[in-house]
Amino acid sequence: MVFAPIFGYLGDRYNRKIIMAGGVLMWSVTTLAGSYMNSYGTFILFRSFVGIGEASYSTIAPTIISDMFVKEKRSKMLALFYFAIPVGSGLGYIVGAHMASALGSWHWSLRLTPALGIGSVILMLCFLKEPIRGESEGTQTDVSHHTFWEDNKLLFTNKSFMLSTAGFTCVAFATGALAFFGPKFLYKGFKLIPGHTGDAEDDVAYKFGVIAMLSGLVGVPLGSFVTQILRLRFPRIDPLVCAGGLILSAPVCFFAILTPSTNVALCYSLMFIGELFLNLNWSIVADILLYVVPPSRRSTAEAYQILFSHALGDASSPYLIGLVSEGLKGILKADNSAVSSVNGTLAATVVPESDVVEFHSMQYALFITCFIEVLGGVFFLLNAVYIKRDKEAAEKEAACESIPEPTHFIANDPRER
């Protein structure tokens, strides 16, 4: 998160292929090394290095895609790229649990990814030809000629970029909270259903991972597909679909959080639908960034979006939800004791850390995510006001009189338009 702006600055000025390959290599090697650490401090240190490697890749890869494709093709390719996030997260729950179970140690859940990462590095170095910045759009921009501070000023005064980043931060907040607390919360709720034998917590985590993966399989391409169909008729459709996804997800997630203690099947179904609406946003937000920011500042823009969405989104939401949940435990225990006293129940029968109190404290805290989703929808609705103007301004800034020869074999030749 902290290193993302550094790689954004480098990505707008130096060879993106080498930076990206180096980041994935670091990501892979430090993941493997971390699995052999036997103390918490050294383990966290290597996990931090994993984050640095990921920052280099996440800030640069979308900008390379944007320089290979334009318009509907770019939207499709971005949908394919961001398709990997929910699917990979879901597979992480599934494969990690099975690797740990089959080989008798959690360490093995971290030893498959490095092999895949090394393979990706080899493929990048051998087959990826880096396009010129802005090539697919017919511009001559090669590197940024602005200073770091000039880039920052231009980005932070770009209303569409800032509002879409704020909306996406709300998406990350909800996604992070549900991913962190979801399996444990559902497990505790299912235990409260009368007569329900229930799954083990690992089984609940496995099913939650399947739901996350399936919601991504459907939601990410669905969001891209809807915007591609409607974009010609409605130029503001991108932020409107994002807003609609968040606003529709909020009540569905509310009832999903409400039902674990009453109906397992209904809870899983609502969780799937709620996450599907959340996943509509991934590729659309990336596309918005790429067409409201000129090619020479896109890596920096990606970096700041990563910084803000992580810092205020999925990095802070588990802490905030946990803090609220812990605070509610004391209130709920006091209320539970008061009710028991009124009913003449012995105080000894009230378990201080009972499953009922812990479930409801987590439940009430998770309702915060529904409010944040609505707030994100408001940000995207405001984004729709400025999106057309900022897109035209970015195109005007990037425009050049002469059109260079495309150097990438799958770039659209702008002279054909």
Which of 12, 7, 125 lies closest to 64, judged by CA? 12
Of 83-87, 242-246, 278-282, least confident by mean pLDDT is 83-87
pLDDT of residue 402: 40
Which two structure tokens, joined as six digits, stand for 259? 């039902």
- Answer yes or no: is pLDDT of 349 > 50: no
Positive or negative CA dihedral for 268, 270, 273, 276?
negative
Task: Report the C-alpha gap between 115 and 104 in whole angstroms.
Answer: 20
Which two structure tokens, joined as six digits, stand for 157? 């005064």
pLDDT of residue 411: 53
Q: Give the model's confidence band at 350: pLDDT under 50 very low, under 70 low, under 90 confident, else very high.
A: very low
pLDDT of residue 341: 42
Identify each DSSP E strand in 283-333 by its residue range. none
Which two structure tokens, joined as six digits, stand for 247? 């606003």
Is 50 strand, coil or helix? helix
- Which range, 51-55, 382-386, 396-400, is most confident? 382-386
Which of 184, 155, 142, 129 lies closest to 5, judged by CA? 155
Total residue count of the chain as it appears in this document: 417
Which of the pair, 240 or 94, is modelled with greater confidence?
240
pLDDT of residue 408: 56
Which of the pair, 352 or 250, is modelled with greater confidence?
250
Which of 68, 2, 18 lies closest to 406, judged by CA? 68
Q: Give the model's confidence band at 44: pLDDT under 50 very low, under 70 low, under 90 confident, else very high.
A: very high
- Answer yes or no: is pLDDT of 72 > 90: no
Q: Which residues, at least 6 apart from 182, have a Cβ–Cβ distance to it below 8 Å? A: 208, 271
Q: Give the model's confidence band at 337: pLDDT under 50 very low, under 70 low, under 90 confident, else very high.
A: low
